[in-house]
């Protein structure tokens, strides 16, 4: 499917028909997400994959009981990883393992460490969360490219989610992406006019 068609056909599915996705489909989507771009390639995210009905039921009240939570096949909880220095260490190890030469690697790592040390905890969270939306974009478009549906959801209580899912403090629930097969019909797309969003000086 061409990208333009993916964008036209993707929409925020309000309810799913409950049919399960195959593990291969979920794995294929996770690969599309894993290869999303991010600032410094630091990939400050984790994707929590929830399949079992009991956990979905437990989470639903913390997402205003929206139908997507319990009717989807898999609920992806996109977590921002705010432990930036640990991410830098991991990327360092990965670049080393990939054979990136120290002459190229060291200045890059130094720049990243300088960048990280200049940020407050709030700024780290904001920065990580912004990157998560690049992963989300790949999840939404990726699902459609693989022939199924999705819904981006900010309407949930991240504190409750962290508690129910027993998450460590550095992983911040940022946005949900239930996936599965739509039980609703795509509505007409409404977007602002080009003149309202594009500025050509």
Q: Where do contacts with a copy of itself occur on this chain (CB under 8 A)?
A: 1-4, 6-8, 10, 12, 28, 30-32, 34-37, 39, 41, 43, 45-51, 55, 79, 90-91, 94-95, 98, 100, 126, 129-134, 136-138, 140-142, 145, 152, 154, 165, 188-192, 194, 196-201
Please check whether residue 151 is in contact with residue 14, taking contact to mean a CB–CB distance below 8 angstroms.
yes
Torsion over CA: 115, 117, 123, 124 (sign): positive
**DSSP letter string over 24-37?**
HHHHHHHHHHHT--
Radius of gyration for the chain, computed over Cα atoms and rounded to the nearest angstrom: 19
Closest contact distance (angstroms) between CB of 74 and a copy of itself is: 10
3-class DSSP assignment, residue 77 = strand
Helix or strand holding residue 147 (H, E):
none
Closest contact distance (angstroms) between CB of 73 and a copy of itself is: 14
Of 13 and 71, the one with the shorter C-beta distance to a copy of itself is 13
Distance CA 155, CA 118 (A): 31
**For residue 65, is it left (φ>0), alpha (ψ between -120 and 50) or beta?**
left
- 102, with CB counted inside 10 A (0-12, 13-18, 19+), is exposed
Of 1 and 22, the one with the shorter C-beta distance to a copy of itself is 1
């Amino acid at each position: 499917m061409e990208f333009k068609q993916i964008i036209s056909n993707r929409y925020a599915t309000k309810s799913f028909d409950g049919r399960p996705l195959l593990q291969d489909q979920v794995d294929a989507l996770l690969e599309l997400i894993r290869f999303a771009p991010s600032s410094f390639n630091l990939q400050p995210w984790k994707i929590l994959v929830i399949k079992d009905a009991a956990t979905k039921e437990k989470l639903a009240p913390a997402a205003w009981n929206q139908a997507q939570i319990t009717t989807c096949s898999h609920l992806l909880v996109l977590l921002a990883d705010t432990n930036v220095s640990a991410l830098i260490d991991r990327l360092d190890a990965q670049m080393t393992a990939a054979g990136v030469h120290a002459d190229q690697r060291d200045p890059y790592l130094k720049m990243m460490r300088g960048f990280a040390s200049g940020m407050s905890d709030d700024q780290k969270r904001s920065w990580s969360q912004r990157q998560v939306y690049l992963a989300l974009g790949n999840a939404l478009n990726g699902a459609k490219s693989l022939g199924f549906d999705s819904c981006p959801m900010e309407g949930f209580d991240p504190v409750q989610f962290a508690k129910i899912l027993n998450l460590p403090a550095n992983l911040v629930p940022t946005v949900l992406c239930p996936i599965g097969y739509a039980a609703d019909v795509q509505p007409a797309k409404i977007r602002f006019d080009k003149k309202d969003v594009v500025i050509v000086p």
